Structures are given as structure tokens and as C-alpha cells.
Structure 1
């Protein structure tokens, strides 16, 4: 697994979890999905992703998931 693949998987799961929690627990959980989406958008513009930085420090292999 590469950093890019893990970031995509975690972001996708967080959005799905956010939707499920908003439906079954409380509607305000939707803001978790909003936060994830905003973080993905800012990382696209700034090329800085906190999760990717943490994974790189932990020694996860870098690489592209879509090549």
C-alpha cells in the first residue's frame, strides 16, 4: 500500500461513516464529511495533506495509486 492509496481509502471511509452517523445518530455528523471534503480540496490546491505527512513519517512507501 502506498501513501496515496491509504489517503484515498481513509477519506472515502470517513465520508461514508459521516453519512451513516448523520442518518442514524445525529444530523450534525454531516460536518465530518464536510471537513474531509474541505481538507481534500485544500490539499489539491496546496499539495499539503496532514495524513500523507504522518504516513510518510511512519515509513509508508510513497507512490501513485492511479498509475
Structure 2
């Protein structure tokens, strides 16, 4: 369950940053870059901050 939520949050953040970059300011692409770096980091280290946050919120694994 948490993995699906994490993927949904990441996808939403990337799409939101792209829309903001097109309509507001190109610098919003840094948000998409941050999400991408975090996804790469979590695949290497097997640790994800959002996973910890969802666990503390009581979302089942």
C-alpha cells in the first residue's frame, strides 16, 4: 500500500513541477529534479523518507 502511495506522490510532484515550470517559472523544474534524485537515492540505499512519514501516519505496508 505504501509503495503505491509513494509512487502516486512522486508522480504528482513531477507533473505539478512541469506544469508550474511551463506556466509560472522554469525554476520549478528543480522540484522534478529533486524528486528524481530522491528516487535514485532510495533505490540505492533502500531508505525513503516518505516511507517513514507514511509509517508514522499509520498507513499499512
Q: Which runs of 4+ in 1 moved over 4 A?
A: none
Paired residues for 1:1-67 under 5 Å: 2-62=1-61
Tell me the distance in 2 between the aligned counterparts of 1:19 and 1:39. 17
Q: Identify unmatched segments of 5+ residues in structure 2.
A: none
Q: CA deviation at 1:58?
A: 1.2
Shift of 1:49: 0.6
Structure 2: distance between partners of 1:4 and 1:61: 10
Identify the structure with the greater helix proportion: 2
Q: CA RMSD in A?
A: 0.5
User: What number of residue pairs does the alignment pair up?
Assistant: 61
TM norm structure 1:
0.89
SS in 1 for 2:15: helix
Deviation string 1:18-38 (CA, Å, 9 cap, x unpaired) is: 000000000000000000000
The separation in 2 between residues aligned to 1:47 and 1:56, in whole angstroms, is: 15
